[in-house]
Amino acid sequence: MTIDQISVFVENKPGKLVEVIEALGANNIDLRAMSIADTSDFGILRLIVDKPSKALEVLRDADCVTSVNKVIAVSVEDAPGSLAKVLRILSDAGISIEYVYAFITHEAHRAYVIIRVENNDKAISVLTAKGIKLASGGELYEM
């Protein structure tokens, strides 16, 4: 089970990031998680939102360069070592991880980890076989 992550190329200039976030807010799109990686010229803003299709439309209408990637959302205990356990399972299965970012939830003692891997199907199969709880898009979008 994968979820849609929107990637937005954001020029590395004052006000550009806030323009993207304001466009989403003005259209009643709620952020669930975000991460940004930057270079001297631009950043890649990665977003999980409650309405991915609408967000994509809003961003494209605002002339933002976007892409959609399928990522995995893993529910982990909010405790030391929980993420390491998940990453070890993937590593032992020979699954390469491109990037990871995390966020806590309203549920007590739980966190979600967004994982981008080279092979979603294999990662999902390996993780579920080891009893790791994956989150669906619906779970994240409706938080």
Model confidence over 112-131: pLDDT tens digits?
899 999 999 999 999 999 99
pTM: 0.86
Find, among 24, 46, 40, the residue nearest to 101 by Cα.
46
* 119: three-class secondary structure by DSSP: coil
Which of 46-55, 60-69, 102-111 shows the lowest mean pLDDT across its residues?
Answer: 102-111
- The type of residue at 73 is A
Average pLDDT over residues 54-75: 95
As a whole number, the mean pLDDT across the chain is 92
What angle (nearest 5°) sits at the alpha carbon of residue 5, between those of residues 86 and 57? 170
Q: Provide the 8-state DSSP code for 40.
A: S
Beta bridge partners of 72: 115
* More confident: 75 or 40: 75
